[in-house]
Amino acid sequence: MKIVYSTDNYHPRVSGMATSIDRFGKYLRRRGHDIHVLAPRYPGDHLDDGNTHRFRSTGLFFSKEDRLVLPWERRSVFKVLDGIRPDIVHVQTEFEMGRLSMAWAKKRKVPTAVTFHTHWEQYAGHYLPFAPSSVSRGIARSIMRGLSKRADLLITPTPQMKEVLKGYGIKGEIHVVPTGIDADEFQSADKEAEKRGSPLFLKWPELKGKKVMAYLGRVGLEKNVDMLVGVLEKVVGEVPEAHLLVTGSGPYLEEMRSDVKGRGLEKKATFTGYVPRELVKNVLTIADVFVFPSLTETQGLVTGEAMCCGTPVVAVGEMGTKYFMGGDNGGFMVENDVEDFSMRTVQLLTDVDLWDRVSNEALEHARKWSMERLSARMEDLYQSLVNI
């Protein structure tokens, strides 16, 4: 099959959505399918292959790292799609790129799938702070309901997101297909070697010899990252060698730095900003504990990646993280509470036997989320559309 992924969120933007597109694309190609990605053009150069098609876009004034394809790119989008002649168009975002691709598919009578990755109602207050909450939430619901009515196949990455859609009154069958873990990326992770001579030490030597609590992801308030400053303050009171490693960028980054400094903890935290994908394994392997406070995660991919590196996880048990961990599997799933989060982190940093047991449990739990199995599931759903 020829399959097109249509998205307003792709590299170089770092996100779980871009990771999901890449992983399904990689494994479906292995299964013999022809995969194309339609995405915005971002400033600067992109290391794309010939099957990635970029279109002119504009930045968002309330989120500069995000882009939307311009509506007058319709002719260009249609031309590319006419050249590809896909069997299926799989829309990944609810905005302009998805709208244009859906319009082409309906005109050409090509079946469409939509994956609802993001609980936009929870994000609306962060992205549209100037609008009343009832208005921004209403807009989010309306967009998702409208897109669902036009799609032939509805997918979510978690049962929790499925329930959100049902709560919006969205009818029809909704299939749950999570993004799995690409074990290829992490199979060579070696904690002892990383602690001895990590390439991260070249730029951030302060990490050497520390008990590292690592966060990897967007540094935005919707990820609840402000909680980690309070956690760090409590943990270093009991584990002086603890060190917070924050990897990623976002609108809250400078404020988070300022909060850390205001509490006199600047020597206990390292902010790397964005790092290339090839260093993600190093970040997750050098970590003694992966700390993930997000309340809005729809997939929990990064917790699985940490587990693939044998790193225990302490995470708030909400949305996709709750689905992925399914309880205290590979770590501790906690309440959105600084005391609880800190206590579990301290336990893992100080109890060697506990850490060893949970590290082995994390490796075993991660193996259950195979991309081989999940890409086969997605392939079956695509085939059901083509056979209609």
Q: Are residues 170 and 194 in the same domain?
A: no
The CATH number of the domain where 278 resides is what?
Answer: 3.40.50.2000
Q: Are residues 170 and 190 in the same domain?
A: no
Q: Are residues 316 and 208 in the same domain?
A: yes
CA distance 260 to 271: 11
Exposed (0-12), middle (13-18) or buried (19+): which is 164, by Cβ within 10 Å?
A: buried
pTM of the entire structure? 0.73
Helix (H, G, I), strand (E, B) or coil at 164: helix
In sequence order, what are the residues at sequence separation of 6 or more whose Cβ sits closer than 8 angstroms to the Cβ of residue 225?
A: 215, 219, 246, 252, 256, 293
Q: Are residues 240 and 331 in the same domain?
A: yes
Tell me, what's the pLDDT at 185? 86
CA distance 170 to 147: 10
- Encoded amino acid at 350, one letter: T
Q: Are residues 299 and 351 in the same domain?
A: yes
Domain that holds residue 215: 184-367
Q: Can you spell out the DSSP letters for 70-138?
A: -GGGHHHHHHHHHHH--SEEEE--SSHHHHHHHHHHHHHT--EEEE----HHHHHHHH-TTS-HHHHHH
User: What is the total count of domains within the chain?
Assistant: 2
Q: Are residues 280 and 327 in the same domain?
A: yes
Tell me, what's the pLDDT at 367? 86
Q: Are residues 24 and 169 in the same domain?
A: yes
Q: What is the CA radius of gyration of the chain?
A: 21
Instruction: Retrieve residue 213's tokens.
Output: 């609590």
Tell me, what's the pLDDT at 77? 97
Q: Are residues 59 and 108 in the same domain?
A: yes
- Walking along the chain (388 residues) 10 residues at a time, the average pLDDT comes out as 96 84 95 97 82 90 75 96 98 92 97 87 57 62 81 91 88 91 85 95 96 94 93 97 95 94 96 92 97 85 92 92 90 96 98 97 91 94 88
Q: Are residues 61 and 145 in the same domain?
A: yes
Q: Are residues 353 and 242 in the same domain?
A: yes
CA distance 198 to 130: 44
Tell me, what's the pLDDT at 174? 96
CA-CA distances (angstroms) from residue 240 to 43, 114, 214, 230, 274? 42, 48, 16, 15, 27
Q: Are residues 231 and 322 in the same domain?
A: yes
Tell me, what's the pLDDT at 115? 96
Helix (H, G, I), strand (E, B) or coil at 336: coil
Tell me, what's the pLDDT at 141? 73
Q: Are residues 218 and 135 in the same domain?
A: no
